[in-house]
Amino acid sequence: MAWQKAKIFLRRNFDPEVLAVRRLIHKIPRQRKAAGTYTALMEECDQVFVDRLKERPRALKRDYWKHHFALDSFRAFPEIKGRILDFGCGSGHLDYWLAVKGMTITGIDASPVAIAIANRVRQRANPIVAQRLEYIEADVCQTYTGPKRFDAVWSCEVFEHIAKPGGVLQGLRQYVRSGTYFLICVPLGRAFDNPGHVNHFYTEGELTDFLRPHLSVIRTETDLRNDILRALCQF
């Protein structure tokens, strides 16, 4: 039993992939603070990875996400295709596995740590997969004047963290054309709950009411197996 505990300790604390990510988690904020470019929003978003390192370091590994249920979200929503924008992409691990499946994904996140981890994942992918991936560090509420080049948008477990989505959704409109589809996935009720969750959606109706002032809600579904609600919307 003691040897098993020792193996678990060593795996959690000396895994090369986790150690590399740990260095990013500590280095990036220091660099940004020294440069005077570290905002409160960046710090808030980066805290996700500080917490993950403490509580669930294996989730910082690429293969942890290989069979994540979110990868199957698109089966019932064929509208999500082409060049997809992943809003709140986090560490980019899900994007990597979607790219392995042949999808073209651009992840966007306000967390410098998230984008650093995501780019590390991309750099270690084979060239075919890597060319399907791109990552952008940005606060979507800030002005964007680039091309509207995305065919669809996806967001997985983000909107439970956003009390008032109006500003974020208005910001995302800068990246897409009118009529673009947006697939939103959130936990069902208090599933996967943590102090950062400011919204809890117990029914499809509650999620619809939350989104409808800002988006056209096309259809919703409840995934009881994985405790997830999904809503297909349009800008």
Q: Which residues, 6 or more positions from 21, have their beta carbon under 8 angstroms from its beta carbon?
A: 49, 53, 60, 91, 117, 120
* Domain spans, the chain: 63-234
Look at residue 225 in the predicted model and tell me its pLDDT: 94
In the prediction, which pLDDT does 6 show? 43
pLDDT digits (tens, 9 = 90+) for 61-116: 999 999 999 998 898 999 999 999 999 999 999 999 999 999 999 999 999 999 99
Q: How far apart are CA 98 and CA 75, in angstroms?
A: 12
Query: With contact defined as beta carbons under 8 Å apart, do 174 and 140 qualify?
Result: yes
Distance CA 160, CA 139 (A): 17
Report pLDDT for 11.
56
Cβ atoms of residues 133 and 102 within 8 Å: no
Phi-psi label, residue 157: left if phi above 0, alpha if psi -120 to 50, beta otherwise:
left
pLDDT at 25 over 90: yes
| Angle (deg, nearest 10), helices 40-55 and 112-123 | 60
Rounded-to-10 torsion of CA 95, 69, 57, 29: 40
| Region of poorest pLDDT, from 9-13, 40-44, 212-216, 219-223 | 9-13
Q: Where residue 12 falls among pLDDT bands split at 50, 70, 90? A: low
Q: Check if the beta carbon of residue 60 is closer than 8 Å to that of residue 117.
A: yes
Tell me the mean pLDDT in the region 124-139: 98
The pLDDT value given to residue 5:
47
Pick the CATH number of 63-234 from 3.40.50.150, 3.20.20.80, 3.50.80.10, 2.60.120.620: 3.40.50.150
